[in-house]
Amino acid sequence: MKVLAVIPARFASTRLPGKPLADIHGKPMIQWVYERTSRAHGLSRVVVATDDQRVFDVVARFGGQVLMTSDQHESGTDRVAEVAEQIEADIYVNVQGDEPLIQPVVIEKAVELVSSGKFQMATVMSPLRQKEELSNPSVVKVVADHQGRALYFSRFPIPYSRGTLPGPGESFACRRHIGLYVYSRETLLQLRSLPSSPLEQGEMLEQLRALEAGIAIGIAEVNFTSIGVDTPEDLVKVRAILAEKSSVEI
């Protein structure tokens, strides 16, 4: 199977403009994401999809493959779908451009759910580490069934726990969603053709478009704590983590 990883990189972020080019120990954030993604086994190719010439030029300079895409896309999925119109593949991987800590094994686990034929779309989740994450809208929560299918994603605590929290040694019923998506070509193009759904608009979570359309999303649990860079504070945290030699894999 031909598996294409696409890294959407939009320059005009509301909370952190120009974040794909944010410096992290001498390299732009998009380079961290690109290099870590490239280490995942089974990928045929890795491409950055951007809407800004500055990002395009930086990726080209460090030797990455990059495509210019429309500045009208409302989601990363839509941007990946535009790439699919230009580059043929069996499976497409949407790696968020603000995940400089992404681990190759996380990508591999999600791809396996689709390449095996079990699901047409997949993503990943990890355990919640702190109870404060439940009330943090920047931490997307997910619940899944016993067959490994995502039931719902939300920025709010799910399910309702009547004010109680797990005790020592217990775990939360929900997990932390990591913004990585894998799609079969057919499913990706189907999503592209669907209008933005009410749930997607309400939660501002693009994966809800798939659930509302009846598309099952397989979800693999991984032992990986993600920090997506959405704010200047997130950038400071990521820089601190990558400053530790034990955390630097590249």
* Backbone Cα Rg of the chain: 17
Percentage, residues of the chain above pLDDT 70? 93
Residue 74 pLDDT level (bands cut at 50, 70, 90): confident
Domain ranges of the chain: 3-247
User: What does the pLDDT read at residue 200?
Assistant: 92
Q: Are strands 66-68 and 45-50 parallel, antiparallel or unpaired?
A: parallel
pLDDT in tens, 138-186: 889 999 999 999 999 999 989 876 556 666 666 788 999 998 999 999 9
Helices assigned H by DSSP within 49-103: 53-61, 76-86
| 118 and 134 Cβ atoms separated by less than 8 Å | no
Q: CATH top-level class for 3-247?
A: alpha beta
Q: Does residue 250 have a pLDDT over 50?
A: no
Q: What is the mean pLDDT of the chain?
A: 90
Residue type, 68: M
Q: What gap in Å lies between CA 189 and CA 123, rounded to an integer?
A: 17
User: Lowest-pLDDT range, 26-40, 104-118, 218-232?
Assistant: 218-232
Residue type, 116: S
User: What does the pLDDT read at residue 171?
Assistant: 72
Q: Does residue 248 have a pLDDT over 50?
A: no
Q: DSSP letters of 191-213?
A: HHHSPPPHHHHHHT-THHHHHHT
pLDDT in tens, 184-225: 999 999 999 999 899 999 999 999 999 999 999 999 999 887
Q: Does residue 249 have a pLDDT over 70?
A: no
| pTM metric for this prediction | 0.91
